[in-house]
Amino acid sequence: TLTVDAAERGPDIADSMYGVFYEDINRAADGGLYAELVQNRSFEYDKADNDSYTPMTAWTSSGATAAQVADDAARLNERNRRYLRVSLAGGSKEFRLTNAGYNSGLAVRKGERYDFSVWARTDRASGTPLTVSLAGAKSGGALADPLRITVRGDRWTKYTGTLTADATRNDGRLTVGAGGPGTLRLDEVSLFPRKTFKNRPNGMRPDLARKIADLDPGFLRFPGGCLVNTGSHQGYEAPDFDRRRSYQWKDTIGPVEQRATNANFWGYNQSYGLGYYEYFQFAEDVGAMPLPVVPALVTGCGQNKATDDPALLERHVQDTLDLIEFANGPTSSEWGAKRAKMGHPKPFGLTHLEVGNEENLPDEFHARFKEFRKAIEAEHPDITVISNSGPDDSGPVFERHWDLNRQSDVAMVDEHYYNSPAWFLENNDRYDDYDRKGPKVFLGEYASRDNRFRNALAEAAFMTGLERNADVVRLASYAPLLANEDYVQWKPDMIWFNNHTSWGSANYETQKLFMNNVGDRVVPSTASGTPSANTPISGGIGLSTWATSAAFDDVSVTSADGETLLKDDFSHGDSRWTPASQRGSWKIEDGAYVQSDTAAEDTMVTAGDPKWHDYDVRAKATKKAG
Ligand code: AHR
């Protein structure tokens, strides 16, 4: 029974209450939201988390006497240092340089236009002829009429042309061919779809951007997460605070050929083609409040270091002031002028900014946070500077962060947690007792650990608790937002994609429902006779059984309504089940199935393809005689 007290006034709910947390994780930008089709277009890929990345990643070449990535005085510019130096063989031998794109290749649609560009120079007096072609990897057949360009002169020049696809394929390969003798230099090879979200140049992939826009987000937190924790790098033992490997907003603006490439925290290279200008523009395009996060010079995300270099701190504080000027400053200001030059003379209207992310050292973090806040408040008293509370929902680090936040009268604190669906059901009242006079909460990252219906439902239930406490919880965002299915560092995620399509999870639908229906204020209500959150679900499967499946002669998994999802009698040598070593174990936690190893999900998807559906799964195993 639900009792609603319409006469009583609950807290107001801000229009911006529910937003999105965009992080460049799971290759959210390059090969995802950023519409560029060429991978590693500027030959800048560097060793990231392992040795698999090289300056020639995604490229192959043939037919030259030598084709080498060089970093010398002939470079295009200081931020885009490497280029491809080709000693052409001459005669009838054509040099061919091919890019494989992302996932299965470059995805093109019949009838659509694709803008090609390359920076090039040649020492051959009569010029070097280039042929630019697009072909399918499997068929080898041409997907567009080729482009012919002649490179002239030994100074870097940008050459452009347009290819129109005459077929729809997801396995395209872009090839630049060159003839004649001499030394040819190439850099920043790009194939960019003409069609982007809102037709923005250097813009976003329409299907992905549309899915985000359809959420009607109140704010856009960007560009990370752990990505922005300067000095920490997944897989590196010691943090370094070196500019090269840390996300620095100033490296992400201006002409794309002058933007750096970053071997980032998540172990891959990001081109910065999507940079701060594009994020601000995107926030405006989807009607969301922009909410950038800057590094606090204390590592989080699994590492515990802080820099004591005052010059470095000063530079980062100044970079943050410059960021505010870039977003809001008049066109007569240094950074406002840069924004105007990029196409947006009007200010972007920045009102909130976050310093740091998930720092494990509360005292060190707060000392630095206060430096940032002092400098920002002195020049921009209207900006809300958001602080942090570490990586957990509770515990000593969390408590210490909160004590310090309260002591220094912080305006808003970012909380992060990733827990089981049961936790979300049990913690609906989490904010009921928060101090109404203390700092407000920005729930910047949360998710229950899967993309199944029960996760989406648990999150929806939890969000009613956020909304009931809208006077304390002012902003909330599910995390992470995007994942390319072939390059996953983190799951679950809200929206999934590959090189040609995208799909929202069940959790996406929950977010969409709440974001598109933000109330004006809470109407207090009480419920009685509700079932316990812990009502056990009957049945269950244990992968520990599967792990020893050789001992069984029949295993089947059946949905609640009797449909057989998976079945294996192990009568064939090549079992559909993946080897035991790849399986995870499942346990029943508070009545909900919890996967303790994400590989287990891959097993399910491969074996029976119950992808993105929720099943009440039962397993039946018949033990072999003996
Ligand atoms: O959302 C994924 C990661 O989770 C974020 O980068 C980090 O802040 C958190 O640990």
Average pLDDT over residues 521-526: 91
Q: What is the pLDDT of residue 556?
A: 54
Query: CB–CB of 244/208 below 8 Å?
Result: no
- Within 10 A of 196 (CB to CB), how many other CB atoms are there? 17
One domain for residues 297 and 175: no
Q: What is the pLDDT of residue 479?
A: 98
One domain for residues 146 and 276: no
Residue 54, domain member (yes or no): no
The Cα–Cα gap between 621 and 113 comes to 55
Contacts of 468 (CB under 8 A, 6+ apart): 10, 431, 432, 522
- 480 CA to middle of ligand 1, Å? 7
The Cα–Cα gap between 310 and 307 comes to 8
Query: CB–CB of 67/133 below 8 Å?
Result: no
The Cα–Cα gap between 97 and 164 comes to 20
Kindly give the number of the ligand 1 atom that is closest to the alpha carbon of 480.
Answer: 1
The Cα–Cα gap between 336 and 325 comes to 6
The Cα–Cα gap between 329 and 619 comes to 62
Supply the CATH number for residue 440's domain: 3.20.20.80
One domain for residues 24 and 123: no
Average pLDDT over residues 548-563: 49
Average pLDDT over residues 278-293: 98
Residue 50, domain member (yes or no): no
Domain that holds residue 582: 543-623
Average pLDDT over the chain reads 85
Q: What is the pLDDT of residue 325?
A: 98
Quick one: DSSP state of residue 198? G
The Cα–Cα gap between 299 and 364 comes to 10
- 606 CA to middle of ligand 1, Å? 27
One domain for residues 385 and 454: yes
* DSSP element (H, E) containing 455: helix 453-468
Continuous H helices in 286-329: 310-328
The sheet carrying 157-164 orders its strands as: 64-70, 83-89, 181-193, 113-122, 157-164
Residue 131, domain member (yes or no): yes
Nearest to 228 by CA among 313, 300, 177, 286: 300
Chain length of the chain? 626
- 461 CA to middle of ligand 1, Å? 22
One domain for residues 369 and 295: yes
Instruction: Identify any residues that bridge with 354 across adjacent strands, giving them in sequence order.
Output: 293, 386
Three-state secondary-structure class, residue 515: helix
Q: What is the pLDDT of residues 600-621, one digit of tens each?
A: 333 332 233 333 333 344 444 4
Q: What is the pLDDT of residue 520?
A: 94
Continuous H helices in 487-550: 506-515, 543-547
% of the chain at pLDDT higher than 90: 71
Average pLDDT over residues 192-218: 98
Q: What is the pLDDT of residue 308?
A: 81
Q: What is the pLDDT of residue 51?
A: 65
One domain for residues 363 and 491: yes
pLDDT at 544 > cutoff 60 = no
Average pLDDT over residues 410-414: 98
Site to probe by mutation for ligand 1, drawn from 233, 270, 354, 358 as the one with most ligand atoms within 8 Å of Cβ, is 358
Three-state secondary-structure class, residue 289: strand
Residue 6, domain member (yes or no): no
Quick one: DSSP state of residue 532? P
Choice among 47-61, 142-156, 173-187, 252-266 with the minimum mean pLDDT: 47-61
One domain for residues 506 and 559: no
Structure tokens at 115: 């803008």
One domain for residues 218 and 342: yes
Positions marked catalytic: 358
Site to probe by mutation for ligand 1, drawn from 301, 360, 419 as the one with most ligand atoms within 8 Å of Cβ, is 301
Binned at pLDDT 50, 70 and 90, residue 445 comes out as very high
Give the end-to-end CA distance of the chain in Å, rounded to a whole number.
55
Three-state secondary-structure class, residue 527: strand
One domain for residues 90 and 139: yes
Site to probe by mutation for ligand 1, drawn from 414, 490, 507 as the one with most ligand atoms within 8 Å of Cβ, is 490
Residue 247, domain member (yes or no): no
For ligand 1, atom 8: residue with the closest CA: 225
Kindly give the number of the ligand 1 atom that is closest to the alpha carbon of 418.
Answer: 4
Q: What is the pLDDT of residues 219-251, one digit of tens each?
A: 999 999 999 886 544 444 334 555 456 788 999
Choice among 98-102, 504-508, 597-601 with the minimum mean pLDDT: 597-601
Structure tokens at 356: 């740091």
pLDDT at 163 > cutoff 80 = yes
Choice among 116-125, 276-285, 300-309 with the minimum mean pLDDT: 300-309
For ligand 1, atom 5: residue with the closest CA: 225
Q: Pick the last residue of a domain from 193, 215, 241.
A: 193
Q: What is the pLDDT of residue 531?
A: 57
Structure tokens at 625: 């005689």
Average pLDDT over residues 250-259: 96
Q: Pick the last residue of a domain from 139, 173, 193.
A: 193
- Residue 441's identity, in one-letter code, is V
Q: What is the pLDDT of residues 296-305, one digit of tens each?
A: 988 878 778 8
Is pLDDT larger for residue 410 or for residue 247? 410
Residue 107, domain member (yes or no): yes
Q: What is the pLDDT of residue 564?
A: 57
Give the Cα-Cα-Cα angle 28, 33, 39 (nearest 5 degrees): 75
602-618: burial string, b at 16+ Cβ within 10 Å, e else: ebbeebbebeeebbebb
Q: What is the pLDDT of residue 303?
A: 74
Average pLDDT over residues 473-500: 96
Query: CB–CB of 38/99 below 8 Å?
Result: yes
- 226 CA to middle of ligand 1, Å? 5
Nearest to 361 by CA among 457, 229, 490: 229
Q: What is the pLDDT of residue 40?
A: 98
Supply the CATH number for residue 176's domain: 2.60.120.260
Q: What is the pLDDT of residue 573?
A: 38
Nearest to 218 by CA among 521, 522, 523, 512: 512
For β-strands 113-122 and 181-193, DSSP reports them as: antiparallel
Give the number of domains in the chain: 3
Q: So what's the ipTM on this one?
A: 0.99
Pocket of ligand 1 (CB under 6 A): 23, 25, 224-226, 301, 357-358, 391, 416, 445, 479-480, 490
The Cα–Cα gap between 169 and 143 comes to 8
Contacts of 303 (CB under 8 A, 6+ apart): 229, 231, 232, 239, 360
pLDDT at 551 > cutoff 60 = no
Q: What is the pLDDT of residue 595?
A: 37
The Cα–Cα gap between 219 and 198 comes to 19
Task: Write down the pTM of the prediction.
Answer: 0.85
Binned at pLDDT 50, 70 and 90, residue 353 comes out as very high
Is pLDDT larger for residue 558 or for residue 193? 193
Q: What is the pLDDT of residue 110?
A: 97
Q: What is the pLDDT of residues 59-79, one digit of tens each?
A: 999 999 999 999 999 999 999
For ligand 1, atom 1: residue with the closest CA: 480
One domain for residues 82 and 146: yes
Nearest to 150 by CA among 126, 131, 133, 128: 128
For ligand 1, atom 4: residue with the closest CA: 225
Q: What is the pLDDT of residues 16-65, one digit of tens each?
A: 999 999 999 999 999 999 999 999 999 999 886 666 899 999 999 999 99
pLDDT at 599 > cutoff 70 = no
The Cα–Cα gap between 615 and 463 comes to 24
Q: Pick the last residue of a domain from 147, 173, 193.
A: 193
One domain for residues 263 and 405: yes
Residue 242, domain member (yes or no): no
Q: What is the DSSP string of 219-246?
A: EEEES-SGGG-TT--TT-SS----GGGS
For ligand 1, atom 7: residue with the closest CA: 225
One domain for residues 388 and 461: yes
For ligand 1, atom 2: residue with the closest CA: 480
Structure tokens at 602: 């891959």
- 23 CA to middle of ligand 1, Å? 8
Residue 449, domain member (yes or no): yes
- Residue 143's identity, in one-letter code, is L
